[in-house]
Amino acid sequence: MWTLALQLAGASDHFDGRASTRDPARDLTDVYAWVGEEAGQSRLALVMNLHPYAGRRSRFSEDITYRLELRRASVEGTGPDTHVETGEAFRIDCHLTESRDAMRCRLEPRGAHCPSCVRVLTARIDDPAGATADGIRMYAGLRRDPFFVNTLVVSRERGRQGDKPPKRLDVTDNALVRASVLSLVFELDPSEVLGGDGMFAVAGRSVWQAYLPDTPRLGRLE
Amino acid sequence: MLLLLLACGPKHPAVVHTFPGADGRSCASQRVVTVDPDPWSAVTSIAVRLQADTPAAVGPPRSPLAIVHPDDLSGGLRIDLDGELGPAACTLVPGDPNAEQRTCGPYTFSIHYTPLCSTVPMEEGLERMGRPETANFVLAQKFGTRMPEPDVRNTWNTLEAFDLTGRIAACASGGPGCAELLAIQAQMDRGLARLDALDRFDDPKKARNLTSEGAGLDWCPWSVTPDGLRCEGPHPLRDLLTDDFLLVDTRKRCTVDTGSFLEIELAHLQERAPGPDGLRHQTCGGRTPGDDVIDRLLTLTINGPDRVPPGAPLYGPSDAAPDPHRGDGVDAPPEPFPSEFPWLREPRYAD
């Protein structure tokens, strides 16, 4: 296993750290965000992948919230002073349903009380049709890992820091050619869901949540 | 943290367990029952009722009696009824003036517990991802050195993606968590400098003098010392990459394999002239599944900002190939991506 982890050390975000390597259901491998078009309207595509080398029996964790966060953004400055400012935030939180055969996702703006802005979708796991509602379409389930990389070359690039020049760089093996991942895929209309087109900063997270009361903990009785 | 308690709804019953109590035992003896409530519930009261036609009384809860943590549930949750109810359990027996000597009549215990909700859950970030390869490529440790570098990736993964640079800047006067944040920043600088220096092998003469200007440190002119001999200060890409998110613009269009990763950031970094729409960038930015981000990152970080034809973007959709092109030899997936939702192909299994 350790050998495998080392082999994949250069693969996007796969096996990035000991904690993620121990629990693949929390290990986010890739996030994608791009803008397509449908009927002249922009459609924002969001993909969050997890669980490196997922197999037939790999499952989302019922203990983890899978989250995509978007914030309106603007790029300020140029040259070495370039930096990004972020503002209004939106969050998509996904949990397995109690029956564990579907993923329920909730999109809502952050920091503003707007019950009518909340959108909830539930898609059956591995159903290619996914679910559609209120300007959002989603899919949850196993997909082929879209990332491609020659980890041997990348590892050698990383490994030759001050040691030896590379021998050859013509190997053409994609280390992930037979790999699959668990995917959460969204397509949404920015005008309808996010309040209009513009620039957005996008990041994915896996989060452990507990609903603890605001009372002093007594600990175990006795 | 202020948390507001709410009942989770009618599907969670408040009264769950009823146990027969001891009959005629001394109150000095300990009565312990084991219940098996749902995780994350609170035992809110314990009711004690005499059986048959004797009057009923309810022991007041010493609220809250217990919060049921999942870790506590191995073997069930043990509740000491006498300890929790005190004299109330025994005053149910009429006619005995001496509480210490009384015996308790037959009764039943009802353990009430209510699953709890809070409007603001406590949460712990497990893993985060914005840009690819930041954790594994830029923040990775250098192996085989006398001075081991810290593995900052676990900490990196638990942090919020947004405004990390702001949090680090606030660490100038110290504060909780600042040591970890500054370690991440230092590792980011080290990693970017290492990548920048990889092309010293292009010219063996440069490899002998790694600290002089132009010795493979292509980003160095942005932060060179006055004597021109050393690089100092932050790497120009450090703060951009520290705020770890994809920057995507819905005013521009892409296809599933447009090379758009980092295009928005680099258009500003290189001070590209705005187009007719007032935007410096040409694509939607973000990251498409077909984008060869490995080649893009290697070429950008190793070659630096100046090894492109005059007037060409640092690394954009229409630029001439930077010289030389850096890559891993794999430029595309074996099969093209579908152009329709959900865009990713059917799974394929290694097992």
Digit-coded pLDDT (tens) for B104-135: 444 445 555 555 444 445 667 888 899 998 88
* Residue B327 parent element (H or E): none
Query: Would the CB atoms of A161 and B198 count as touching at under 8 Å?
Result: yes
How far apart are alpha carbons A35 and A71 in whole angstroms? 16
pLDDT at B308: 62
Start-to-end CA distance of chain B, whole Å, equals 46
Contact (CB, 8 A) for B313 and B270:
yes
Secondary structure (3-state) at B246: strand
User: Residue B186: which residues within 8 A CB-CB, separation 6 or more?
Assistant: none
How far apart are alpha carbons B23 and B26 in whole angstroms? 9
More confident residue, B251 or B87: B251
Residue B29: pLDDT above 80? no
* pTM, to two decimals: 0.72
CA distances (Å), B303 to each of A1, A184, B131, in order? 34, 35, 20
Contact (CB, 8 A) for B267 and B277:
no
More confident residue, A61 or B58: A61
Arithmetic mean of pLDDT, B317-323? 50
More confident residue, B225 or A25: A25
Buried b (16+ CB within 10 A) or exposed e, A202-220: bbbbbbeeebbbeeeeeee
Arithmetic mean of pLDDT, A133-138? 93
Query: Would the CB atoms of A84 and B240 count as touching at under 8 Å?
Result: yes
Instruction: Say yes or no: B164 contacts chain A, CB-CB below 8 A.
Output: no
How far apart are alpha carbons A16 and B140 in whole angstroms? 9
A60 CA: distance to closest CA in chain B (Å):
14
How far apart are alpha carbons B189 and B211 in whole angstroms? 16
Handedness of CA B152, B246, A5, A93 (dihedral sign): positive
Quick one: what percent of chain B has pLDDT higher than 90?
Answer: 16
Arithmetic mean of pLDDT, B336-345? 92
% helix, strand, coil for chain A, step of 5? 15, 45, 40
Which residue among A9, A194, A215 sits closest to B64, beta carbon to beta carbon? A215
C-alpha gyration radius of chain A: 20
Chain B residue numbers touching A19 (CB-CB < 8 A): 126-127, 154, 157
Residue B147: pLDDT above 80? no
| β-pairing verdict for A102-110 and B15-20 | unpaired
Arithmetic mean of pLDDT, B199-215? 49
* pLDDT band with cut points at 50, 70 and 90 for residue A178: confident
**E strands of chain B, at which residues?**
5-7, 15-20, 32-35, 41-50, 66-67, 77-80, 107-118, 122-129, 246-249
* Residue B313 parent element (H or E): none
Residue at token pair 């030899």: B329
More confident residue, A111 or B63: A111
B56 CA: distance to closest CA in chain A (Å):
25
Tokens of B189: 């600088």
Chain B residue numbers touching A34 (CB-CB < 8 A): 248, 254, 256, 258, 260, 284, 286-288
Q: Which of A16, A38, A161, A170 is the best residue to mutate to test the B interface, defined by the most B CB atoms within 10 Å of its own CB?
A: A16
User: Residue A10: which residues within 8 A CB-CB, separation 6 or more?
Assistant: A149, A151, A154, A155, A158, B133, B136, B137, B294
Task: Pick the range with the lowest mean pLDDT from A19-28, A66-75, A119-128, B185-194.
Answer: A19-28
Q: Which ipTM score applies to this complex?
A: 0.85
Instruction: Compare all CA atoms of chain B with the CA of A218 and give the residue at the minimum distance.
Output: B66
How far apart are alpha carbons A125 and A182 in whole angstroms? 10
Residue A111: pLDDT above 70? yes
pLDDT at B230: 59
Tokens of B211: 């600290």
Residue at token pair 């498409």: B288
pLDDT at B34: 55
